[in-house]
Amino acid sequence: MHNMALPPYQYQGLSPNCQTRILELQPSTDLSAPLHCNLREIDVATDPFYDALSYTWGGEVLSCDLIINNSLLKITSNLHDALLRFRLCAGARKMWVDAVCINQNDDDDKARQIPFMAEIYRSASSVVVWLGIDAKAAACMTRLDILTRLKSAPDDSGTVVEDAEYMLQLPWFSRRWIIQEVVLNPNVTLYCGRSEIQWIRLLQLMRVHLTKGYADRVDETFPYRTMEALWKTFVMGIDAKNTTGILRLLETFEKSECFDKRDVINAIAGLASDVYLGERGPGVKIHVDYSKTVEQVYADFAFALLQDKPGRANLFIGMTESRSDGSHLGGISSIAPDWRLPRRRSSLWHVIDTMDFVWFWDEVDDGCFEKTANMETLRFRPKKPFYYHGVVSAVFEPFRSRKTRATVEWIGKAWNFIIDWIKNSNAEQLPTSNETSMLAIQLFQTLCGPNSGFWTLEKAAVKMMRKALQHNGSFDTDVLSSLLHCDITSASEANPSTQTLFEQIWMVMEGRTLFIMPVAPELAKSSKKFYKEMFSRKSLMDRPKSKWPVLGVGPSHMLKGDGVFSADTGMFSMDDYYAEVSETYGFVLRGQESINKGFFIGESFVNRFLGIQVSIPRPSPTDEDFMAGTYKEDPAHKEARKELDRERKLLPQVTYIDIV
């Protein structure tokens, strides 16, 4: 009978006591013969003698035929090639193949079988991995397999790295589902054309040789090292050292792909130690439901973990903030990460000071996070009230490039953006020469991050600003380029501090932008007596402080009108310059109904000048001075701190925020 005359295969629902179906591939000595098989139900616990196939679908086009019980099922060409490769000449071969054994058109069947997939691959006699037909990859695989069998490795790892690197570019290695398919079974073999290599041998080779070849790209090999650790955990019982928490796995394998984005979680949940997909297990149950949207699946996943342990909020908020593009899962939640998005930015709190500080959300007890009547709102009560700085009045274009020339151009445009704001808010009054100098320092201090620990860099920036303003009455891109570009091809040798300054700016600004706020009304109304007394001799501020811009850094998707908070405010001094900044963690909230309820937009900090004091330089205090108690604070510095304490009390405070 011609294949076209065969009726389409009709799936029957699984019996209650069976977990899946098994494909019995019929033998043939003719490599070009049509594929025939039977499909029957099995109980994996009593019938584990089958091989589980791991492969890529190779597209959505179902162009090839599989004859099942005298009916026709359309399959992809890559699966057709795999079944031809693994068909035996004599005797049927029992195989588990997801595209056949699961009814892909039935969400209920998928929801029933997917939680059981980890057990299917764990119980299989072996896992056969089909990488496809690729002559070059097959030759690479053959050479690598021979290498793994040698008593001693060759001295030159170059060819090994090239062969392995080519293989790792094959589509199979980018699939998300392959992770659990290969780490749960002790007998895993990879096939490419007629070549083959055992999975454990490939892992061993990658650990030895790719670690050397990828010395400057450690992140690229980390997923494979994690897979090796997982294989040792599940197959050999060796502890994976806390690599199996679901959030850790999601972070580790964030670049692994799947066609249905709901499977970002489903594909690796079976490996996690703190969640489970089936009927029972440790931790939180994850419900597989293909009737829900991707956004709802991600939100429900986050809420389930938060309901189990509210203290996880610090991790979720951090993961969300690092990826967010402002869409907030279509407006559902700013708490739940959108796992479809790549990481766009690192945590400011780690960038600001990786030595001495922890992420702000980690400083609170779990009890500080409360579930409100609406489970989808998270209430956070800090140990100390938050300070509310007001709303953003202008947002600059996002920082986009980690290239020196592009950075110079971006800073030049940012400067013009600030000047225009001052001009528009101060009745056409442009900054004076003194104010220009102060503004340049404030800008670089903002771009480098408060208390960055790069004291020498900031001093170098100040010197560059002073030099620029001595030679040119204004601050523009040409001046900045001439000072910072300085033969950038050898900047690390010619001017190390300049190159490191760029690296610091990139760390802080990647995925972020610059914003401007007016001084909070409560501070604008405060007394000016302090400024008149303190800066009467050599003041650089030639207008009321209420007319001076507050500069800040926040996520690239923040908008005009967003509210800015900080956990504290503090004074930061650099040489003889005093400035108020939010020294601890700050954040942006897009308010709903009230200032302290809304979408969490991301981390931020603000930089507002408290004033300028030019005095005679004196040696910086040493650690011995502090230990001996011989250091005496500069009187002007002491007065500035008193003024800051007074102003801090004027800012509005909130005792909790509700994150939607």
Compute the distance between CA of residue 114 and CA of residue 177 in angstroms, rounded to an integer.
11
Mean pLDDT, rounded, for 92-118: 94
Note the pTM of the prediction, 2 decimals: 0.83
Q: What is the pLDDT of residues 310-341, one digit of tens each?
A: 777 777 888 888 899 999 998 888 888 999 99
Nearest to 321 by CA among 304, 300, 344: 344
In the predicted model, what is the mean pLDDT of the chain? 78
**Helix intervals (H) in 128-254:** 135-148, 158-168, 178-183, 199-205, 211-213, 218-231, 246-252
Q: What pLDDT, on a 0 to 100 scale, did the predictor assign at position 365?
A: 39
**83-97, 120-134, 178-192, 547-561: lowest mean pLDDT where?**
547-561
Q: Does pLDDT of 179 surpass 60?
A: yes
pLDDT band at 53; cut points 50, 70, 90: very high
Per-residue burial over 58-96, b if 16 or more Cβ lie within 10 Å, else e, is beeebebbbbbeeeebebbbbbbbbbebbbeeeeebbbb
Q: What pLDDT, on a 0 to 100 scale, did the predictor assign at position 8?
A: 93
Q: What pLDDT, on a 0 to 100 scale, did the predictor assign at position 427?
A: 61
Compute the distance between CA of residue 443 and CA of residue 279 in angstroms, rounded to an integer.
57
Q: What is the pLDDT of residues 500-531, one digit of tens each?
A: 777 888 888 999 999 999 877 766 665 454 44
Q: What pLDDT, on a 0 to 100 scale, did the predictor assign at position 147?
A: 87
Q: What pLDDT, on a 0 to 100 scale, did the predictor assign at position 7?
A: 92
**75-89, 115-129, 277-291: lowest mean pLDDT where?**
277-291
**38-47, 105-114, 587-596: lowest mean pLDDT where?**
587-596
Q: What pLDDT, on a 0 to 100 scale, did the predictor assign at position 55?
A: 95
Q: What pLDDT, on a 0 to 100 scale, did the predictor assign at position 536?
A: 39
Q: What pLDDT, on a 0 to 100 scale, did the predictor assign at position 176?
A: 93
Compute the distance between CA of residue 205 and CA of residue 161 in angstroms, rounded to an integer.
9
Q: 602 to each of 5, 335, 385, how far by Cα in Å?
A: 60, 11, 18
Q: 421 to each of 137, 410, 445, 517, 519, how far by Cα in Å?
A: 58, 17, 19, 10, 13
